[in-house]
Chains A and B, each alone.
Chain A
Amino acid sequence: MNTEKIDYSKFPSVLKKVLDDEIYSFPKETLFKYEPKLVYRVINRSPDVVDEDISITREDFKSYIELGKKYRGKTTISHYSCSFFTKKDELEAILKLPRPNKRIIKGYIKDIHGPIYLNNRSHVDLWLYKDVNLSSEFELEKR
């Protein structure tokens, strides 16, 4: 992680608050500078909707916390991120799980979008800067 001071005001208010209050901090391996990465994400859409009728919106990139969804277990800074995967196979497993109302989208993430954390799976946490809208940079992966 860069040692220079991170400007928390670049992040959405919910994330800024927990960073300011030192409730959470970014993992030490967080990357603020990185090469563009091709990543995949799933979005919720009814399986009945045809590809042509699907438009990707800013809402599709909101974090679990921003969406105000329930979860079980401890909250971590990961819940404030937008999840992507570098490999499609893990996402394809998600499509095989119950309520398959999900579709895969793909696009490039860049350091101008926000810092990332990569774990030893193919999962990527991206903490989007508040002014970033990725909707136009992602496209639907054809079925």
Chain B
Amino acid sequence: MDKELMFIIENKELYLEREIVTLDIPLLFVCIDNSHQRYLCLCTDSDELSYLVAESKDKNIINLLESTIPMKDAFKLCDKIWKIITQDNIIEDEINKVIYDDIPSIDLPQDGATLGFTNPYLDEYKEIIKQELEEYQTSFEIYRRIALFKCSHRSIKLKSMNNNTHLIESYSQNKENYYSFNTTISV
């Protein structure tokens, strides 16, 4: 399916990934750029067609979808936020970086209000993000252990055994001393 370009911020193209709340147009949604960075997006005025776009950690999006944090806090926890007033031509959008504390409360969700619902479409999305996080954490843990192992061994070989098990073989150059261990990564 064609990707739907929503914004261009600092030369990064942001594509619509998932609508969370929609009323004729997406009101609360997630965009993603080509480096797989996700952005939480909120329509602040559907007549003027203006938005708040916040660079978000994946865990923050999961928390919003699971209603464990208020929607407003999901924006507060983002380091970079932009206010966008759209124009007919996307490259002419008026884009300004803003500080959370300077955002008028009228442009934010109600105090303390959580999303408060889910559906199969959002459940599926949550699982996608969780799976990605798990894979990322597993990879990170493997490379961390490899890095530690490399400190004391000349050469190593990595074999993926299954989803979570990775055999790290380590041996010296003449293979006189052969070490191996089986490690199960739990994330």
Contact = CB atoms under 8 A, between A and B. Distances in A.
Contact of A100 (B110, B119, B122): B110
A98 B119 contact: no
Binding site secondary structure of chain A: loop
A121 B27 contact: no
Interface stretch (B32-40, B101-109, B163-171): B101-109
Contacts of B5: 73
B121 A121 contact: yes
Contacts of A91: 23
Given A93-B21, A97-B21, A73 B117 contact: no
Contacts of A96: 71, 109-110, 113, 116
A8 B45 CA distance: 34
Contact of B42 (A72, A79, A97, A100): A97
Interface size class of A (residues with CB under 8 A): 20 to 34
Interface string B16-49: 1000011111111000000000000011111101
Nearest to B41: A72
Interface residues of B, number: 37
B115 interface: yes
Contacts of B26: 73
Contact of B49 (A70, A93, A97, A119): A70
B63 interface: no
Contact of A92 (B44, B109, B117): B117
Contacts of B6: 72-73
Contact of A93 (B2, B16, B45, B116): B116
Nearest to B105: A98
Nearest to B44: A98
B86 A70 contact: yes
A96 B108 CA distance: 9
12 contacts: A63-B24, A73-B4, A73-B26, A83-B22, A93-B21, A93-B117, A94-B21, A97-B43, A98-B44, A98-B106, A99-B45, A99-B106
